[in-house]
Structure 1
Amino acid sequence: MGYIEKSFNLPTDYCDEDIRKIIQRETGFGTFSFRIDHKSLDARKKSDIHWVIRVVISSPEIKSEIASKQTDLAIPLKIPILRKPAKAIVVGSGPAGFFAAYILQKGGCETIIIERGSEVDERACAVKKFEQSGIFNPSTNYAFGEGGAGTFSDGKLTSRSKHISAEKQFILSSYVEAGAPEEIMYMAHPHLGSDNLKVIVKGLRKKFLESGGKILFDTCLENIETAPVKNINGCENKVSVKGAFTSSGDYEADHLIMATGHSAFETFRMLMNKGVLFRTKNFAIGCRVEHPQRFINRAQWGKEVLAGVKAAEYRLTSRGDGRLPVYTFCMCPGGVVVPSTAYSNSNIVNGMSRYLRNGEFANAACVAGFSLDNLLKKEVEPLEALDWLENLENSFYTFSGGYKAPCCTIREFISSKAGKGIKTLSSSYSPGLKPAPLWEMLPSDISYAIQMGLGDFNRKIKGFDTGIIMGLESKTSSPIQVVREKGGCCTGFENLYMAGEGSGHSGGIVSSGADGIRVALSILTSS
């Protein structure tokens, strides 16, 4: 049996039999099997949009001396086994927290996940109640609960992180085993969808519990117990974590991993009080833009429907001399805008899509990247950065008197002139919209950059300015970053780790999950 790779261009509405016929025609093989190794959409020419598909073909008719190497061997993730018993606590059940806990448990470490929010079905009920009634649950919402903030998203599985092949393979394989579509293993831009994610996180939970792990839902971390560690000379040079104080009781731990996500501001403040070192870093804020999905389809494809493709996407960037860079982020085709606040007195938005991406609207964050030091023209401490962002989020809540999204048309935002157009526009945002001079609600440098960027986007996608722009998008990444050693251990600590988006060292489902895996492997290797 030999193996070869072949690449083909196929129409968007192809079927597997079409692939089989092409293979037979081009190779002449009578007996063979194949699997798709990579699939991407080439939409550079609207008159010739097609899939580019690479397949791995196996056949007894391929001579061993001319056969290529077998390409379907996955890079294995080697999980060390602990040499002596140990206990670990992982705070947070998002991708970083779950995969850190799962690897530790598989490596023989008795592991507990502490999750402040509820399990996913109860969480879904809580967010539905919030959208319908405006009654906010501070523990279970779009930010907190099983699976982390990513549970209610488009579920993108792309990553710009390098050197995570084994970790990524483990994550994607785990998702497929938990119910994800197998196409995530080969799509160039795979996504799960919020509907699939609810099923997947339950499947992952089942695997973790079957491995002997324990999860405490509706349990808030209140504090951590620490003690100084003396070196051989009797000098105190590090701090050791002894355990965690939670709303469900106190727990001892040999290792504590913080994987809280980047919305847990009160946890960051507690860690700062315990001596954990943070630094500020560049991040991005802005608003969310929304258009009818059929408009985006026409702009990208030249038609409203393209057989075999769910919905059109876009990724836009804009740079100009003397202003901040602007870009779209977390584009949700056929999706909805949601109230993603983590606290009752703040008002922020995010986007999510179902797997089929078949909703009426398309939305995306439109943000400007910046340094808070440069914006405020002074050196900003990490605690100040949290306070600054929290105050901005609170100001949007104060303006709206609740969770309606301050909103205007993109055209109004660009021109800094309020009009009457917003009253005639519909939106996917269920809490409702409130007309607002959004350009005045953001820091002036950020507003100016976004105005220029939106004008640039309108030249790239004609009619882009006919959409609406709403709310505050402030969770693209964390404004602070923990100072940590190789392996994820917090500097100055012996056994306290931070992983995922809350650490400021990763972002997105795959890179956060990979970060959690690497922290867990570091613990297993060094213990």
Structure 2
Amino acid sequence: MLRLTEVKLPLDHAEGDLQAAVLQRLGIAAKDLLSMAIFRRAFDARKKSAIVLIYTLDVATSDDAAVLKRLKHDAHLVPTPDTEYRFVMQAPIAGQHWRRPVVIGTGPCGLFAGLILAQMGLRPIILERGKAVRERTKDTWALWRKRELHPESNVQFGEGGAGTFSDGKLYSQIKDPKHYGRKVLTEFVKAGAPEEIMYVSKPHIGTFRLVKMVEQMRATIEGLGGEFRFQSKVDDIEIVGGGADAQGQIRAVVLAGGERIETDHVVLAIGHSARDTFQMLYDRGVYIEAKPFSIGFRVEHPQSLIDSRRFGPSAGNPILGAADYKLVHHSANGRAVYSFCMCPGGTVVAATSEPGRVVTNGMSQYSRNERNANAAIVVGITPADYPGHPLAGIAFQRELEQRAYELGGRNYDAPGQLVGDFIAGRPSTEFGSVLPSYKPGVHLCDLSPALPEYAIEAIREALPAFDKQIKGFSLADAVLTGVETRTSSPIRIKRNDDDLQSLNTTGLFPAGEGAGYAGGILSAAVDGIKVAEAVALSMMGKLHSN
């Protein structure tokens, strides 16, 4: 099998043109092309009048070796790399006893950690403080429709994690030499994702499909001996030894209500909003440090505007779909402002997990056919902006979220402002051509009190600068909605580079977004696989030493 890259064709090419291009590139007859599969399809839209599709293909010929030899100087033709996933442990050692590993959290990281452990025969116990995904969905809609917040069942907490209510993006910039990402996509397809996620350059799924996939993954894990426990919040962990200069060892987790589960291996796959769990871990002496994150607003434009600016006359082409964007501006005050979690054809959603606070996030369905595009426009901040305690970033987030609640009217409406008014520094009083999608509602006001002055200043400078990249981005009627504070975890639960265990707590494996080691569905799922492998290797070592 051969991997052929950089096969370029016009956006509107005919069905047979791809095979013709392959035959021409390889210099072979049609009878010698045994098979051809698309590994990746991207597009180049820099010339809007002539958008080009770029294919990476896996092909089999009647004599691969001869083709490679003849085209040995073609850098875009190589043997197809082996991307098959291989387990570090096929099955437990017969007759040996071990305490079952525990996974805390059922977001992408926890699900994939649980799946890999189950596929290796290690029968994980998977704990989730929230509810199963369909019950959780009902609770989430209760906030959006009725202003009823369920603190343990919402956008942040419950089966599937925060990524369930998102655009369902499945791409990342992480380095992945072992092709873990391919394993993630393969398992998602098995669980019901469209097969196109295996080859499109920016795959996504959307909320409704994610719900069904999460349920299917749960069924798979349970069929392999894994055990799910919902509404099972971990209130404490038992650590023996430890202290200021000593290494502790996990012995058990303790659930709300007092149930104790003995274990030597805990995958800590909590999300970035598990603030009470962060506090508990800190109180137990687990090493935690503050890390940078970002704060800002959601901005909404007509999706048709973004499509026309990005794709020109090809806007609306089904292969291109709804257009996205990625923008960065370095402001005069030294702050970086950038777009984050862009949701084409999506909605802005209420994402708080705590009473008396307002948090925004973005969500899209697979179709991406809502009228507005939205993205977070955020400012990078560092621990220098919230100095002192390792958990000071949490207090900082809460302060901004409470302020947003008050500006919105203390009823879970979000504070909002038109972009033109925000840039001019005047309060907004009525909506224009862009109607916000946030539910339960948006209360127009002056957003300048919602964030620190340096952030307001930087965003005010960035919006006109973004207009130079996407004409119309600073559209006066575009809507800003606040606040966006849960861009990433404000802490990192540091782990060793070799065995992925906590720096000072043996048997504790910090993982995913909440621990500060991922950002998004794919990277979190990949981290779950890595940590599951580390758990298996640790268990193998313990079995061999017994």
Shift of 1:481: 1.0
| Counterpart residue number, 1:300 | 310
The match for 1:217 among 206, 230, 233 is: 230
Query: 2:415 matched to 1:406?
Result: yes
Task: Map residues 439-518 of structure 1 onto 2, 5 A cutoff.
Answer: 439-466=448-475, 467-486=478-497, 487-518=499-530
Task: Map residues 89-488 of structure 1 onto 2, 5 A cutoff.
Answer: 89-228=102-241, 237-247=246-256, 249-303=259-313, 304-373=315-384, 375-376=385-386, 379-400=387-408, 401-422=410-431, 425-466=434-475, 467-486=478-497, 487-488=499-500
> For structure 1, which segment, 168-177 or 265-274, has the greater mean C-alpha deviation from structure 2 after superposition?
168-177
Shift of 1:201: 0.9
> For structure 1, which segment, 452-461 or 62-71, has the greater mean C-alpha deviation from structure 2 after superposition?
62-71
SS of 1:369's equivalent? strand
Shift of 1:166: 2.8
Q: Distance in 2 between matches of 1:15 and 1:208?
A: 43
Q: Distance in 1 between matches of 2:433 and 2:373?
A: 18
Q: In structure 1, what residue type is equivalent to 2:486?
A: K
| Counterpart residue number, 1:5 | 4
Shift of 1:76: 2.5
Q: In structure 1, what residue type is equivalent to 2:425?
A: S
Q: Distance in 2 between matches of 1:335 and 1:453?
A: 23
Shift of 1:271: 0.8
Shift of 1:319: 0.9
Report the aligned-residue RMSD: 2.2
- 1:45-89 CA-to-partner distances (Å, cap 9, x unmatched) read 1111131112222232x4532246541632433322444423111
Shift of 1:209: 0.7
Q: In structure 1, what residue type is equivalent to 2:184?
A: I
Q: Distance in 2 between matches of 1:203 and 1:432?
A: 34
Task: Map residues 29-40 of structure 1 onto 2, 5 A cutoff.
Answer: 29-30=30-31, 32-40=34-42
Q: Is the Cα–Cα contact under 8 Å of residues 311 and 333 in structure 1 kept in the other structure? A: yes
Q: In structure 1, what residue type is equivalent to 2:474?
A: D
Shift of 1:464: 1.2
TM-score normalised over the length of structure 2: 0.90
Q: Is the Cα–Cα contact under 8 Å of residues 6 and 57 in structure 1 kept in the other structure? A: no
SS of 1:290's equivalent? strand
Alpha carbons of 1:50 and 1:145: their partners in 2 closer, same or farther (altered >3 Å)? same
Q: In structure 2, what residue type is equivalent to 1:246?
A: L
Q: Is the Cα–Cα contact under 8 Å of residues 219 and 246 in structure 1 kept in the other structure? A: yes
After superposing on structure 2, the runs of 4+ consecutive aligned residues of structure 1 that deviate more than 6 Å are none
Shift of 1:491: 1.9
Q: Distance in 2 between matches of 1:154 and 1:409?
A: 24
Shift of 1:110: 3.1
Alpha carbons of 1:372 and 1:228: their partners in 2 closer, same or farther (altered >3 Å)? closer
Alpha carbons of 1:344 and 1:272: their partners in 2 closer, same or farther (altered >3 Å)? same
Q: Distance in 2 between matches of 1:516 and 1:47?
A: 42
Unaligned runs of 5+ in 1: none
Q: Distance in 2 between matches of 1:168 and 1:481?
A: 23
Shift of 1:207: 1.3
Q: Is the Cα–Cα contact under 8 Å of residues 280 and 380 in structure 1 kept in the other structure? A: no
TM-score normalised over the length of structure 1: 0.93
Q: Is the Cα–Cα contact under 8 Å of residues 404 and 432 in structure 1 kept in the other structure? A: yes
Q: Distance in 1 between matches of 2:18 and 2:188?
A: 26
Shift of 1:19: 2.5
- 1:454-495 CA-to-partner distances (Å, cap 9, x unmatched) read 121122222212211111111111111112222331222121
Query: 2:58 matched to 1:50?
Result: no
Q: Distance in 2 between matches of 1:314 and 1:152?
A: 20
Q: Is the Cα–Cα contact under 8 Å of residues 175 and 200 in structure 1 kept in the other structure? A: yes
Query: % of aligned pairs identical?
Result: 34
Q: Distance in 1 between matches of 2:453 and 2:78?
A: 57
Q: In structure 2, what residue type is equivalent to 1:443?
A: P
Q: Is the Cα–Cα contact under 8 Å of residues 313 and 331 in structure 1 kept in the other structure? A: yes
SS of 1:483's equivalent? coil
Q: In structure 2, what residue type is equivalent to 1:399?
A: L
Q: In structure 2, what residue type is equivalent to 1:370?
A: I
